[in-house]
Each structure stands twice: as C-alpha cells, then as structure tokens.
C-alpha cells in the first residue's frame, strides 16, 4: 500500500522525574545571596531536591552517572540542574559563577568556593556588621 511504512516509530524520549519540575522556587524557598550567610541551608535544600529527583550525580562528583542514561538525556538533566542553580541564587551570584558551557557540577563547585574560600573575609565582614549594630 502506498504511504505504509514498515519502520517502527522512534522510541519515546526517556522520562525522568526532573522533567516534571516547572518551578524550582516552589521547592527551594531560599534565594542564596552573598550577604545573608545562608549557604549551608540553601545547599541542604538544593541537595534534598537533587536526591528527590535523582540528579545527585550532577552536583556530586562521588556519585557516578546512572547506567542506562543516554548522553542526550544526561545533558538535558544537567541543563535543568544548572537552571535550578541559576534560579535559586541572587543576580550577583549568577554573575560571579556564570560560565559558558559549564556543567552543573562546575557551577556547584564554583558556588562552594565563593562561600568556603571566603570564610576569613566573611568573618571580618560579619564582625564589622555586628559591631555596628546599635542597641
């Protein structure tokens, strides 16, 4: 018959629970900012969501990529996790960590460096703020 094709239809795209997240801000209510000193809380909330949606391998180099995840799906998941990071941090932090072509893990590590490598400077800043408080 004309128009009949014996080739099977393409397989459906891999479904992953992360694809169902439409607004990460509904799940992570904190916006990370350099001034608020809430990195540990933000990181904990972020890690909880990554665990819940099975994308920890995108922010933890000790967790290997799940077997059976094709390259296209992994790249799409990585883009989603990168978007989660960018959407839950301040504009100033976005400008600090943004890097063309970076993976979510690279962005995660850059954020950690911003907050952990700055401990001494941050302590001095907070001490100064504390001493300037008027009772």
Q: What is the pLDDT of residue 54?
A: 87
Per-residue confidence (pLDDT) for residue 123, from 0 to 100: 65
Cα–Cα distance, 125 to 4 (Å, whole number): 72
Residues 6+ apart with CB under 8 A from 106: 99
Residues of the chain with pLDDT under 50: none
* Cβ–Cβ under 8 Å, residues 76 and 17: no
Predicted pLDDT of residue 114:
87
Q: State the pLDDT at residue 69.
A: 81
């Amino acid at each position: 018959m004309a128009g009949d094709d014996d080739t099977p239809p393409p397989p459906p795209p891999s479904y992953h629970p992360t694809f169902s997240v439409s607004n990460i801000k509904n799940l992570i209510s904190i916006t990370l900012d350099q001034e608020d000193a809430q990195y540990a809380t933000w990181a904990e909330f972020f890690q909880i969501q990554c665990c819940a949606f099975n994308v920890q391998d995108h922010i933890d180099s000790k967790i290997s990529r799940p077997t059976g995840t094709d390259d296209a799906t992994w790249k799409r998941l990585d883009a989603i996790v990168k978007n989660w990071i960018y959407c839950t941090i301040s504009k100033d932090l976005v400008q600090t960590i943004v890097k063309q072509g970076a993976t979510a893990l690279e962005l995660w590590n850059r954020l950690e460096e911003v907050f952990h490598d700055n401990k001494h400077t941050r302590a001095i800043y907070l001490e100064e703020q504390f001493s300037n408080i008027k009772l």
